[in-house]
Amino acid sequence: MKSILEIMADELRPLFSARGYDEKFAMVKVSNRPDLCEYQCNGAMAAAKQYKKKPIDIATEVAEAARDCSMFSEVNAVMPGFINLRISNEWLADHMEKMAQQEKLGLNEESEPKTVVIDFGGANAAKPLHVGHLRSAVIGESIQRMARYMGNHVISDVHLGDWGLQMGLIITELQERKPELPYFDPDFKGEYPAEAPFTIAELEEIYPAASKKSKVDEVFAEKAHQATLRLQEGFAPYTAIWNHIMNVSKKDLKRNYDNLDVHFDLWKGESDAEPYIPGLIDDLVKKGLAVESQGALVVDIAEESDTREYPPCIVRKSDGAALYATSDLATIIQREQDFHPDRYIYVVDKRQELHFTQVFRVSRKAGYVKPETELTFLGFGTMNGKDGGPFKTRDGGVMRLEYLIHDINEEVEKKIREKGRVPEDEIAETVRRVGLAALKYGDLSNQATKDYIFDVDRFTSFEGNTGPHIQYMDVRIKSILTRYAEEKGAAAAQAAVIRPAESDSEKKLQMVLAKFGEAVESAWNEIAPHKICAYMSEVSDAFSAFYLDNNILGETDENRQKGFIALIRLTSRVLETCMDLIGVKAPDHM
């Protein structure tokens, strides 16, 4: 379904062409002076230069012809050469009704759906999720929802950090604490225990203790390094411990991600890329791309068009160890074999930009991806406290994500109980949904690449540009629809159709709803969830103005009331679709 701007341009193109002007000048945009007009065509200004005529003369010719178009209620040519347009209320109501009849509300899905791999940057196994993991989770989840809604085939991968020195540190610390375990008995034969020798709480304490010890104890650090190498060589006892670490970690990570309503198709990690690394190194050497430099193997990624200096990508250290770049390149080879993606999107801290520039360039130089494959790095900014610095706990530590969620929910519950509108048996679920909206909208309403201040009080407010406010608007609409159906019957509610607007606020709401498809397509094309949030805010404001202008349930004109009902029903569908695209649901009461 074409947008209103596209339809307007379609109407104006033949009018320009019939008068000897190029159709390209028939572009229409939303007016920045709504007091003068709703839409505007400025093509006569550019056409005047090409055709050596006064802009107002061209605008007048086209405007006179456009007055016969049924979609316009008003067309005026104004100095120095603008064509001001107002849309017909009858045409707009018909357009709204057509939109309401479509499952995806007039959205134009991808004409050529793509296979898209979304990499969430990877939390580390054996460590709890902290606030630093929030952005990749909520931004990535929104992106995968938008990608699917647009008709693409999506493979999302949490891509855990599960194969580095941290594993050797944990194994070595575990051996010092529990040397009697069979994994450390060289004479042990048979099956290793199915039960992990630690709980998630113990595991999360073991790693920081081991990491701290390795910084002051050289002997311990060397043991950890050797344990890491033995694990990566496939030493059976350490592999068994590693499996325990992964099983315990994944269970806890999944619980935390579920609390955020964030989900992945794949729970892969760096370890899954390990088998591909030897072949990768050999291939880069054979192609003459990887060369020795001070004992390490590096790939030059510099290009003639570069305006800055890029260091070479190190794919193997002088001691033979692989690096993150090696692992990410091997992962691309694995994904190419398994999925043949058309596009990759990496949702990672923006400080990793150089790393991914190196990985992308090596992938292209080596031919691991097709020339037309899109490699997108979405680097996000940091979440900061009110002091402008990194978000911390009161004692200065890094806050666990589950504690942040708890603090948000605690504040939300306090506000919900103060209002006293939610039945007791719904409070827990309402708090969960509203808390998630506060958290996700608070993050996603900011442009992903920018840093932002995390403000619990502002994000949990039921007023202003917040997630709870958006939810409250939808809850209000659903309450009206329910009461209308109870009074008039479900059949009457379903039979209601959108009518031509009779007030400015009614028309404004219709015009904002008509932008749904454009908003979603733009957000996806630019990988910009904040545009969904901005659009929801615009819809909510337009509905609020309409609601204040009209006593919907008290309207005595039955047909007019039905028009109101049909319009707010569409408003609810638009809001709920947008909320779903950022991973949020409205409760039944607020």
Instruction: Give the domain CATH number at 453.
Output: 1.10.730.10
Name the band, by pLDDT with cuts 50, 70 and 90, for residue 81.
very high
Question: Do 172 and 66 fall into the same domain?
Answer: no
Residue 158 lies in a domain: no
Q: How confident is the model at residue 18 (pLDDT cuts 50, 70, 90)?
A: very high
- Same domain for 431 and 543, yes or no, is yes
Kindly report the number of other CB atoms within 10 A of residue 114's CB atom.
Answer: 16
Question: Stretch 164-177: mean pLDDT, rounded?
Answer: 96
Report CA 277 to chain centroid distance, whole Å: 31
Q: Is residue 83 part of a domain?
A: yes
Asked if residue 318 is part of any domain, the answer here is no
The whole-number pLDDT of residue 320 equals 84
Report pLDDT for 549. 97
pLDDT band at 156 (very low <50, low <70, confident <90, very high): very high
The secondary structure of 162-211, three-state, reads CCCHHHHHHHHHHHHHCCCCHHHCCCCCCCCCCCCCCCHHHHHHHHHHHH
pLDDT at 446: 97
Domain count, the chain: 3
The reported pLDDT for the residue numbered 392 is: 78
Q: Is the pLDDT of residue 493 over 90?
A: no
Global pTM? 0.94
**Domain end (from 72, 87, 102):** 87
**pLDDT-above-90 percentage for the chain:** 94
Q: Bigger pLDDT: 161 or 397?
A: 161
Based on the fold, state whether residues 42 and 170 are members of the same structural domain: no
Same domain, 73 and 183: no
**224-268 per-position pLDDT tens digit:** 999 999 998 999 999 999 999 999 999 999 999 999 999 999 999
Segment 543-554 mean pLDDT: 97
Report if residue 148 sits inside a domain. no
Residue 272 has pLDDT above 90, yes or no: yes
Q: pLDDT digit string (tens) for 354-399?
A: 999 999 999 999 999 999 999 999 999 999 998 888 787 767 678 9
pLDDT of residue 495: 87
Please name the amino acid found at residue 191: E
Each residue's pLDDT tens digit, 105-150: 999 999 999 999 999 988 999 989 999 999 999 999 999 999 999 9
- Taken in order 278, 283, 289, 293, the sign of the CA dihedral is positive
What tokens were used for 66? 């456009």
Give the end of a domain, one of 213, 230, 259: 259
Please check whether residues 83 and 183 belong to one and the same domain.
Answer: no
Identify the CATH number of the domain in which residue 56 sits: 3.30.1360.70
Q: Among 202, 225, 259, where does a domain finish? A: 259
Say whether both 214 and 65 belong to one domain.
Answer: no
Mean pLDDT of 268-275: 95
Q: What range defines the domain where residue 58 resides?
A: 4-87
